[in-house]
Structure formats: C-alpha cells, structure tokens
Amino acid sequence: MESGYVTTPFGRRPMSLGMLASQQLAETIEPGMKRSKWKLFRAICEARPALGVTDRALTVLDALLTFYPDDEISEEKGLIVFPSNAQLSLRARGMTPATLRRHLAVLVEAGLILRKDSPNGKRYARRDRAGAIGEAFGFSVAPLLARAVEIESLAAQAVADRELLRVTRERLTVCRRDISKLIAAALEEGVSGNWEGISAMFRALLARIPRVATAEDLAPLLDEMGLLRAEIVNMLERRIKAKKIDANESQIEHHKQNSNPDSLNELEPSFETKQGEKAAADNDPNAGPSDERRLKQQKPSGGRSNRVGGAADPGAGPGLKSFPLGLVLQACPSIPDYGPGGSIGNWRDLMSAAVVVRSMLGVSPSAYEEACSGMGPENAATVIACILERGGHINSPGGYLRDLTRRTERGEFAIGPMLMALVRANGPTARHAS
C-alpha cells in the first residue's frame, strides 16, 4: 500500500474516521512480515466475538481469501483481491448480492479489510507487458497483516477463556453431584443435622446458575458450593469418628470390667483433667488464692448454677466452668480490639467480638455453633479469644476448636490451665522480657 495514500469509497458510501484509521493502520506493516492466510483466518474465527463480526461475515472473508493467489499474505505478493460480485457470491455459498454487500460492510467496519475503489467503482487490475500487476482496485487485506499479532493474541485469549469455562463447568457438575449424593447418604444413614436447611441452600445455589454463563459467572457459585460440600463432608466425618470412638470406648469398657471391676479410674473419669488443672494452679506464681480456689471448684453445671462474675451462668457447657470476665481479658488482651467500639464491657460484648474473630480466623459457623453447644456460648467465646492470642502457634483454628469441643464432651478439656498459661505469658514478667 502506498505510504500516505488515502482512498475514499465510490458512489454514495460515505467516508468515516474509522476507515481513515484503518488505512493508517494498514501502513504500519513491518517489513518482511507474512502470515498464512488460513491460519490467520482460523485465529479470526476464534476471536470473532472480540472482533465484532458475524459468522456470515466470516463466510464472506473466507471467500475473499480464496481469491488471494498465495497461501501466505505478504506485501511483496500484493494485498489487493478484485473478484466480481458474481464470482464472490458463488464462493460465498450462493449469498445474494444485497446480503454480500451488507457483510462486506461489516468486515470493513471491523477493520479487517479495506476498500480501494477504482474511479468507476469496478474491481480490476492493470498489468504491465510482463503480466505483473501494476495497480489493482478491489479489497485490501492489509489490515489482516497489520493486525496479525493482535488477532492471534485475541484468539489465544478466547481459547483460554473457553478452556477455563469448560473446566469450571466440569468442576461445578462434580460438586453438584457430590452435594446431592452426600445429602442423600446423610438422610439415609440418619445423620443428625439441619439437612432441610442445607438442601434449601443447595437448591438456592442451583437456581442462581444462569442458562448461558461465563467462567466469571460460575466461579463464585463454584466457591460457595465447594464450601457447602466441605461442610457436609465435615459433618459426615464427625459422625464416622463418633462411631469409631463409641466402638473403641465400648471395647475398652468391656476389657476393664473383665480385668479389674474395682478400678478407681473407672469411677472417676475426670480425675486426670482435674489433677492437671490443680497442677497448673499450684505451679502458677501469679495465681492468687482466689484463682486457685476457682480452678479447684470447677464442677458440672447440670442441675446447678455456675457463677460468672458473681452471677448465675446458664451458658456454661456440661462439666465446664466459666471464669470471670476480668480474668479472660487479662489473659487475652487482643480481643477487646474486636469488641463494639474497640472495647469489651460485658459478656455480650465478648461474644460479639468472638463472632468477628471467628470469621477472621476462618473458623466455620458450624464449628463455632458446636463449640457453643458443647462448651456454652461464654466459654466458646473465651476459647476463641485464647485462639486469637495464640494465633501464631495454631495452623488450623477451625480444626483446633472442633478438637477442643470433642475433648470437652469427653471431659478431657478445661479452660483454666489455658487461661492461666496466657496470664503468665502476658504478665509483667513476660512484658518486661519482651
């Protein structure tokens, strides 16, 4: 194409700034650049949505490229094709002249071809005495060569997006199947849980899947379904572990009754825990007599009322005593930052802060609900505060909380030693050392 040459359309067709920009772009072809016309055409087909062309327009472009004499497009071999409308219609699967003109206009507007009209609007070429083409009038494919890198990049992105959509759809299908069959298994096995609510949540997620979806539409739905599946799997795994524990305890109990029916350990299953609590209080140089008495006086709350800061504690879990709020705040100085207004003045504030910290630590709602049920809401909030204080030493806060809940239900866990250890760690001596 001649440098600086501007061609305007023949007849009533108007000139536009887009045509001028396409002509200027066609002049930027790098010297020696060449591309296989059919590979480039396939890239255009891949990038069709991004280029804004229709499939019928691509049919016309396919027909135009058949008139280019060589397989590779290059400036050395010329960039103009000049078929008549009759010939072009035949190679475009018999497309009517009016439809042909409309789709040629689409290709020009998309910046894939240029018109180079002759003075009378006809398409032809002038040849020299040796038969070489001196000047031609018709359609220039120079924009294809000038935009080859851009077109190939768009095609690669389209292929990557399509592959991502395929993989996302497959994962979503597998996740849907897993959730559906796991819920059915849970109902069939009689596993305890709010399976009606979980099923309703699953149906709500399914209703949000659009009929025609992109990978961006499906990604958040896949994440939510993945979390729901993980929660269901956790519930089923807890049931399996509970069965194994019950079976092991039954075997151990049977062995104890056969070997030593008068065993003292059988009569006092919480003896080891209470001894550990007493040792923690005895070895604590900062624990006063009142602290030691509180550790010694832990007793089950079933049928009795525990005292929290001088008030009855209806929220303590079975066999687990709540401690004064002041002691909890002394052991866990980081938790007030998450309370309402950045402070904690009562147990309600501590429980509100624990909900915030629970989410921040990645502890699932079900794990925290189980802790509240097994320990009591105040003790669960206290444990969350302790986990926050020891965050750097706990890899999985959610798993750690579930383990403490199970140990509480078996009578193997007490909050006292944990609190007193943190009091010592955050005491004056520790602060002076740091």
pLDDT tens across 353-389, in order? 999 898 888 889 899 999 998 888 999 999 999 999 8
- Decide if 278 contacts 288 (C-beta within 8 A): no
- Decide if 379 contacts 316 (C-beta within 8 A): yes
**Burial annotation 237-260 (CB, 10 A radius, 16+ → b, else e):** ebbeeeeeeeeeeeeeeeeeeeee
Q: How many CB atoms lie within 10 A of CB 92?
A: 23
Q: How many CB atoms lie within 10 A of CB 273?
A: 19
pLDDT of residue 383: 93
Low-confidence ranges of the chain (pLDDT < 50): 1-4, 255-318, 429-434
pTM of this prediction?
A: 0.47
174: which strand partners?
none
- CA dist 188 and 124 (Å) reads 79
- CA dist 263 and 253 (Å) reads 11
pLDDT of residue 271: 30
pLDDT of residue 429: 44
C-alpha atoms less than 13 angstroms from C-alpha of 329 in its C-beta half-sphere: 17
36: which strand partners?
72
**Which tokens in the block code for residue 166?**
């395929």
H, E, C per residue of the chain: CCCCCCCCCCCCCCCCHHHHHHHHHHCCCCCCCEEEHHHHHHHHHHCHHHHCCCHHHHHHHHHHHHCCCCCEEEHHHCCEECCCHHHHHHHCCCCCHHHHHHHHHHHHHCCCCEEECCCCCCCEEEECCCCCEEEEEEEECHHHHHCHHHHHHHHHHHHHHHHHHHHHHHHHHHHHHHHHHHHHHHHHHCCCCCHHHHHHHHHHHHHCCCCCCCHHHHHHHHHHHHHHHHHHHHHHHHHHHHHHHHHHHHHHHHHHHHHCCCCHHHHCCCHHHHHHHHHHHHCCCCCCHHHHHHHHCCCCCCCCCEEECCEEECCCCCCCCCCCHHHHHHHCCCHHHHCHHHCCCCHHHHHHHHHHHHHHHCCCHHHHHHHHHHHCHHHHHHHHHHHHHCHHHCCCHHHHHHHHHHHHHCCCCCHHHHHHHHHHHCCHHHHHHC
pLDDT of residue 251: 54
pLDDT of residue 240: 83
**Which tokens in the block code for residue 315?**
């929220």
Tens of pLDDT along 98-140?
A: 999 899 989 988 888 888 877 666 877 777 666 677 677 888 8
pLDDT of residue 18: 63
- CA dist 117 and 9 (Å) reads 6
pLDDT of residue 249: 52
Does residue 45 come out as left (phi exceeding 0), alpha (psi in the -120 to 50 range) or beta?
alpha
pLDDT of residue 350: 92
pLDDT of residue 412: 82
- Strands 306-308 and 311-313, bridge-based pairing: antiparallel
pLDDT of residue 280: 40
- CA dist 49 and 46 (Å) reads 8
